[in-house]
């Protein structure tokens, strides 16, 4: 059949949290044509290199086509029966907290909702966590402390209405390229000033007016200086502050903090602060450089403090904006995919919220305390407390800190299930049972992007082999575990309607996440659903939060949080003299299971590398392109030397995408210590200490 006879289908890019709309057309030979959706509000037709290469990544090569038990092909009935039996046996013998799910921001909201309902409502444990823990858990914690809920106040349009955009710990040009394109277009149109705050000179600095190469982890001290200068300059918004508590304590902490730790000169700090102070329309975008830190939550609150104190929040062109790494990190936060949250932004510690969820689900039990966050979860796998583990669409044997230890822990677990589209990941190789799941272009459901816009993903290609949607796999296990009525779903639309109904209950508790305006969608309405920013109720659709001074703490007020600088947990010294920063490259995604299929994308940066400053390279006798052995207290990696002054002396940078079955490999997270932020549980992925020698 000629490809043009297939209809063009609206869907969403499966990579970063920008959430670009795509138009897909099957070519009739198992492939796709892909173009940007001109009508999607996130991208208006634009795509970045990864999105443009999507068609190259959907082939059947490497797909897992049938369930496997112990590496052998098995029927769905046998595989799902075994999963249900093993989980049931562990729960009966050791209790509900002896099992765990580790899921992913790659899941669609409907998949996520069913996984969360099964674990938190029916198994009766909160041991479900997501790889979003590695991505933006510190933002969740910071938002909740300041606002009372995990609410993104603004929208992408704010980037185009701001006069100053501050990018903190964000290489937007490579990690959220379409947002960066929108920002550069705004700069051209209205002269938006751009400041980049990052220890490393990245591609994002090319379009910036100012780059502050601060010392890793010192963001709190910088934003504390800004808060102090807001006060001294008489620019605190006293009327807005009436809607908040905590200003005096936050100011006292800020004034006591020492900006010497930033490594920036007073002139640099003053120039930044003056620009901020004299510009009313300021947006502060923050990414993984803020989140992936043992003081990540404090960094977030230091930024939020400045926006709250100046009233620059929830108004056009003003406010903080967290950019999420994954396509549905936000959807996962909304359904309660983190171990310390309930669905629809209800709180696990709140007995009324727990009762409401339990009644709604008619569930036997809803846990009254947080479950194990990712790092603790894999510790519990390693020491035998977790007897049965289900890993869904993520590769923790590569991506978790202390990856060698995590890999050994998964291997030693009594029973591990992995749902994925391929058997060729480091984690899938360790599974007792492998379940073939549908991939991006075969799935139906919804995702939420970084500015709260819910978009449909629509299936365009038939699933290969026996692959099934995740919601269907999870629901079938739920039914086999004895919860037939609660998991009797027949379509993602049905799940979405239930979820929207639940959000209406959350709305009655005064929660921010309310999409009850969608609870009566027919299947056809759901199929036609256009990108829509939440909240979506009878009386409200989209918009910004907090410009009116209404917050979600019990007293309706926002909170400024007193924070002071804390150094990264690991300190450099004679054995490990270099500070390791990690991050993404422009054309790869996570552990490359999809982008690695595109020769075009792999051509950008073809192999794993370590950026090192010329001064350090000279000191260690390193020449360009040398192979290096990089050693941390936790592990080793072998990387190619790239000598560049984009990194500061004493600091090195390595991308986190590459994998490897045996150590030493290029698995960067084998080098990263499992140190976490005490509030958010997010690992400190950007401040390890290492030594480097020629290989």
The residue with tokens 């036997």 is: 364
Question: Interaction with ligand SF4 in 525-564: which residues (CB under 6 A)?
Answer: none
Nearer to ligand SF4, 177 or 664 (CB): 177
CB of 276 to ligand SF4, least distance (A): 27
Q: Which helix (H) or strand (E) holds 447?
A: strand 445-448
Cα–Cα distance, 353 to 348 (Å, whole number): 7
CB of 23 to ligand SF4, least distance (A): 12
- Mark the segment that binds ligand SF4 (CB under 6 A) among 16-24, 59-67, 556-564, 651-659: 16-24
Nearer to ligand SF4, 325 or 401 (CB): 325
Query: CB neighbours of 431 closer than 8 A, spacing ≥ 6?
Result: 68, 391, 416, 417, 418
Structure tokens that stand for 113 in this block: 């909702």
- Mark the segment that binds ligand SF4 (CB under 6 A) among 41-49, 127-135, 396-404, 655-663: 41-49
- Mark the segment that binds ligand SF4 (CB under 6 A) among 44-52, 63-71, 149-157, 162-170: 44-52
CB of 591 to ligand SF4, least distance (A): 15
Nearer to ligand SF4, 48 or 222 (CB): 48
Task: Point out the residue whose Cβ comes nearest to ligand SF4.
Answer: 51
Nearer to ligand SF4, 176 or 387 (CB): 176
Structure tokens that stand for 288 in this block: 């993984």
Cα–Cα distance, 365 to 353 (Å, whole number): 13
- Mark the segment that binds ligand SF4 (CB under 6 A) among 14-22, 240-248, 299-307, 571-579: 14-22
Which of residues 9, 10, 16, 560 is near ligand SF4 by CB under 6 A?
Answer: 16
Nearer to ligand SF4, 199 or 583 (CB): 583
- Mark the segment that binds ligand SF4 (CB under 6 A) among 25-33, 43-51, 278-286, 686-694: 43-51
Query: CB neighbours of 372 closer than 8 A, spacing ≥ 6?
Result: 100, 127, 129, 339, 380, 386
Q: Which residue in 283, 327, 545 sits closest to 449, CA to CA?
A: 327
Cα–Cα distance, 488 to 494 (Å, whole number): 10
Structure tokens that stand for 360 in this block: 């709604």
Which of residues 9, 10, 11, 20 is near ligand SF4 by CB under 6 A?
Answer: 20
SS (H, E, C) 534-581: CCECCCCECCCCCCCCCCCCCCCCEECCCCCCCCCCCCCCCCCCEEEE
Q: Which residue in 483, 509, 526, 467 sits closest to 114, CA to CA?
A: 483
Which of residues 9, 10, 13, 397 is near ligand SF4 by CB under 6 A?
Answer: 13
- Residues linked to residue 390 through DSSP beta bridges, in sequence order: 101, 417
CB of 292 to ligand SF4, least distance (A): 19
Please check whether residue 275 is in contact with residue 123, taking contact to mean a CB–CB distance below 8 angstroms: no
Nearer to ligand SF4, 42 or 421 (CB): 42
Question: Interaction with ligand SF4 in 153-212: which residues (CB under 6 A)?
Answer: 176-178
- Mark the segment that binds ligand SF4 (CB under 6 A) among 40-48, 314-322, 456-464, 468-476: 40-48
CB of 288 to ligand SF4, least distance (A): 14
Which of residues 9, 37, 41, 43 is near ligand SF4 by CB under 6 A?
Answer: 43
Nearer to ligand SF4, 323 or 475 (CB): 323
Residue 47 interacts with ligand SF4 (CB under 6 A): yes or no: yes
CB of 173 to ligand SF4, least distance (A): 11
- Mark the segment that binds ligand SF4 (CB under 6 A) among 47-55, 279-287, 370-378, 484-492: 47-55
Nearer to ligand SF4, 37 or 626 (CB): 37
Cα–Cα distance, 226 to 310 (Å, whole number): 11
Which of residues 26, 32, 48, 164 is near ligand SF4 by CB under 6 A?
Answer: 48
Cα–Cα distance, 693 to 47 (Å, whole number): 40
Which of residues 50, 480, 557, 559 is near ligand SF4 by CB under 6 A?
Answer: 50
Phi, psi of 420 (to 5 degrees): -165, 175
Residue 18 interacts with ligand SF4 (CB under 6 A): yes or no: yes
Instruction: Compose the 342-371 pattern: x for residues touching ligand SF4 by CB under 6 A, - for all others.
Output: ------------------------------
Report the b/e string of 295-315 with b at 16+ CB within 10 A.
Answer: bbbbbbbbbbbbbbbbbbbbb
Residue 135 interacts with ligand SF4 (CB under 6 A): yes or no: no
Mapping DSSP to helix (H, G, I), strand (E, B) and coil, where does residue 210 land?
strand
Counting residues that bind ligand SF4 (by CB under 6 A) gives: 14
CB of 77 to ligand SF4, least distance (A): 37
CB of 317 to ligand SF4, least distance (A): 22
Give me the count of residues in the chain: 695
- Mark the segment that binds ligand SF4 (CB under 6 A) among 46-54, 119-127, 369-377, 577-585: 46-54
Cα–Cα distance, 596 to 655 (Å, whole number): 14
Cα–Cα distance, 366 to 549 (Å, whole number): 33
CB of 171 to ligand SF4, least distance (A): 13
- Mark the segment that binds ligand SF4 (CB under 6 A) among 13-21, 242-250, 373-381, 547-555: 13-21
Cα–Cα distance, 551 to 559 (Å, whole number): 9
* Interstrand relation of 636-643 and 627-631 (parallel, antiparallel or unpaired): antiparallel
Whole-number CA gyration radius for the chain: 24
CB of 22 to ligand SF4, least distance (A): 7
CB of 181 to ligand SF4, least distance (A): 8
Nearer to ligand SF4, 32 or 100 (CB): 32
Nearer to ligand SF4, 13 or 366 (CB): 13
CB of 393 to ligand SF4, least distance (A): 17
Structure tokens that stand for 554 in this block: 């019990």
Which of residues 9, 11, 15, 132 is near ligand SF4 by CB under 6 A?
Answer: 15
Q: Which long-range contacts (CB under 8 A, 24 or more apart) does 86-95 make?
A: 86/388, 86/414, 86/415, 87/123, 87/388, 87/390, 87/415, 87/477, 87/481, 88/481, 88/482, 90/387, 90/388, 90/414, 90/415, 91/123, 93/387, 94/387
Q: Which helix (H) or strand (E) holds 84?
A: helix 76-94
Q: Which residues bind ligand SF4 (CB under 6 A)?
A: 13, 15-16, 18-20, 43, 47-48, 50-51, 176-178
């Amino acid at each position: 059949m000629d490809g043009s006879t297939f209809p063009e289908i609206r869907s969403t890019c499966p990579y970063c949290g920008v959430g670009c709309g795509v138009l897909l057309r099957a070519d009739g030979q198992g492939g796709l044509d892909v173009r940007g959706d001109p009508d999607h509000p996130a991208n208006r037709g634009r795509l970045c290199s990864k999105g443009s290469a999507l068609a190259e990544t959907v082939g059947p090569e490497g797909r897992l086509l049938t369930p496997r038990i112990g590496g052998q092909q098995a029927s769905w009935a046998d595989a799902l029966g075994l999963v249900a039996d093993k989980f049931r046996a562990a729960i009966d013998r050791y209790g509900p907290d002896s099992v765990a799910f580790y899921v992913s921001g790659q899941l669609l909201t409907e998949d996520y909702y069913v996984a969360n309902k099964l674990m938190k409502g029916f198994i009766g444990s909160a041991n479900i966590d997501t790889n979003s823990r590695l991505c933006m858990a510190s933002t969740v914690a910071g938002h909740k402390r300041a606002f009372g809920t995990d609410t993104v106040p603004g929208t992408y349009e704010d980037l185009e209405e701001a006069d100053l955009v501050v990018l903190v710990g964000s290489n937007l040009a490579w990690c959220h390229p379409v947002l960066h394109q929108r920002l550069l277009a705004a700069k051209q149109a209205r002269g938006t000033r751009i400041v980049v705050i990052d220890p490393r000179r990245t591609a994002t600095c090319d379009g910036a007016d100012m780059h502050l190469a601060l010392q890793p982890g010192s963001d709190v001290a910088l934003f504390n200086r800004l808060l102090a200068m807001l006060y001294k300059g008489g620019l605190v918004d006293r009327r807005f502050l009436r809607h908040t508590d905590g200003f005096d304590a936050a100011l006292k902490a800020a004034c006591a903090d020492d900006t010497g730790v930033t490594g920036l000169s007073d002139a640099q700090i003053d120039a930044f602060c003056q620009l901020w102070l004299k510009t009313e329309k300021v947006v502060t975008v923050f990414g993984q450089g803020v989140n992936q830190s043992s003081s990540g939550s404090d960094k977030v609150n230091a930024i939020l403090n400045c926006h709250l104190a100046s009233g620059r929040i929830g108004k056009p062109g003003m406010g903080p904006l967290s950019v999420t790494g994954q396509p549905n990190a936000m959807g996962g936060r909304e359904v309660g995919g983190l171990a310390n949250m309930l669905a629809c932004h209800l709180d696990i510690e709140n007995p009324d919220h727990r009762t409401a969820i339990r009644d709604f689900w008619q569930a036997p039990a809803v846990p009254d305390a947080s479950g194990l966050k990712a790092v603790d979860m894999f510790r519990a796998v390693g020491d035998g407390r977790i007897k049965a583990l289900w890993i869904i669409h993520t590769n923790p044997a590569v991506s978790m800190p202390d990856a060698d230890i995590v890999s050994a822990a998964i291997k030693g677990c009594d029973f591990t299930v992995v749902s994925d589209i391929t058997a060729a990941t480091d984690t899938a190789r360790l599974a007792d049972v492998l379940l073939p799941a549908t991939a991006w272009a075969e799935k139906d459901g919804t995702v939420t992007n970084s500015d709260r816009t819910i978009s449909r993903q629509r299936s365009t290609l038939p699933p290969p082999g026996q692959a099934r949607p995740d919601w269907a796999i999870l629901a079938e296990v739920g039914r086999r575990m004895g919860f037939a009525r609660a998991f009797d779903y027949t379509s993602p639309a049905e799940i979405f309607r239930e979820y929207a109904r639940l959000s209406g209950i959350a709305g009655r508790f005064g929660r921010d996440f309310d999409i009850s305006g969608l609870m009566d969608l027919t299947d056809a309405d759901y199929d036609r659903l256009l990108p829509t920013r939440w909240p979506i109720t009878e009386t409200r659709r989209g918009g910004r939060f907090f410009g009116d001074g209404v917050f979600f703490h019990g007293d309706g007020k926002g909170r400024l949080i007193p924070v002071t600088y804390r150094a990264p947990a690991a300190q450099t010294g004679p054995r490990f003299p270099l500070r390791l920063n990690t991050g993404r490259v422009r054309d790869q995604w996570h552990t490359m299971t999809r982008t690695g299929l595109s020769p075009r994308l792999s051509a950008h940066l073809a192999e794993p590398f370590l950026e090192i400053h010329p001064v350090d390279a000279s000191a260690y006798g390193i020449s360009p392109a040398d192979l290096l052995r990089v050693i941390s207290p936790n592990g080793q990696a072998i990387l190619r030397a790239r000598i560049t002054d984009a990194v500061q002396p004493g600091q090195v940078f390595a991308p986190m995408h590459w994998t490897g079955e045996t150590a030493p490999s290029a698995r960067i997270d084998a080098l990263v210590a499992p140190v976490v932020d005490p509030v958010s549980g997010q690992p400190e992925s950007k401040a390890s200490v290492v030594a480097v020698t020629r290989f």
